[in-house]
Chains A and B, each alone.
Chain A
Amino acid sequence: MADIDDTHFETGDSGASATYPMQCSALRKNGFVMLKSRPCKIVEMSTSKTGKHGHAKVHLVGIDIFTGKKYEDICPSTHNMDVPHVKREDYQLTDISDDGYLSLMSDNGDLREDLKVPEGDVGAQLRAEYDAGKDILCTVLKSCGEEVVIAVKTNTALDK
């Protein structure tokens, strides 16, 4: 673990697996796990056992990181669970196209225009702030091939 291999870094995850295995007992609250094939954030974690002298089982409650839907699962603590790769990156919003696509600029200046204005409150907030001429930072959540703007933050002069 001591030396981190940085030569293969790429922005795309082409060919890479969307998940990796992890022993159930090592999962953490607020961490991620696949429940019913959906990437979830663990909001509750408890252990139980069958019979007093039985072995530990982990009871997981998670919410789908994209839909907010709740899932549960129980699994012997020795088993492996799939954990999704979850990436959250901040982008500067530069423009909104007429057909509702966002122009986003990453930290190192790369531009992308493949994401739409999200639905719901975040989208409304985003448009309102944008129309008000504010400086907007978008947090893009990416996992299991899905990608969406999950949060917006307006930069004030103070932050700069």
Chain B
Amino acid sequence: MLAKRIIPCLDVRDGQVVKGVQFRNHEIVGDIVPLAQGYAAAGADELVFYDITASSDERVVDKSWVSRVAEVINIPFAVAGGIKSVAAARDILAMGADKISINTPALRDPDLINTLVDEFGQQCIVIGIDSFYNQQSGDYEVHQFTGDEARSGKTNWQTSDWVQEVIRRGAGEIVLNCMNQDGVRRGYDIEQLKNVRKQCTVPLIASGGAGSMEHFYEVFSQAQVDGALAASVFHKAVIQIPQLKDYLRAQGISIRP
């Protein structure tokens, strides 16, 4: 049986791993390579590296760390952040990344999704979606430039429409980041994830809100997501991956030993 994936997310800024609360006030967690190695050894099923400054700064970011990570770890990993072209994607994949994840650039130019899928295949194109629940309107809004306080804001897309659009264009996987929950450790947005799961024919990864082992159990058992992504609970050692996996297995969730 296909195992549910536990995916530590490492937000990268200027070559170091950082963590903010609701995308703000970033603090340095540590160096990329030893953190990646540590997570792989602890049993992480996959890693995601988000270069959170790249999309918003309009600059070319030094990605040499991608090959340093690829050299040492033997689990798959995705790289996100500022990948706006076929050439940029090719560079990242050539350095040893297994997947690239596109967020704001896909919103700015949706054709980028199908262009990348045609060039590299569906399996390595992940679309990240930052979804915000607007309590006043009751809408789920897609946001962009979330790495940059000055430019971040909502788009005209409703989350479910954008999910359909990226699947139609060939996306191989979707990471749904529920912004209201991000960094606050009160649990994944089960209701939203359940709704997206129903219409999502590609693998779906939950992101935002993990605070306890029970939250992982909830999201796997109730929202049927394929993977659960988390950052601070792992970086701050609130949850240890081996214990988390033992716990989930004891609850009957399919987990890789």
The answer to whether A and B belong to the same complex is: no
Residues of A participating in the B interface, judged by any CB pair closer than 8 Å: none
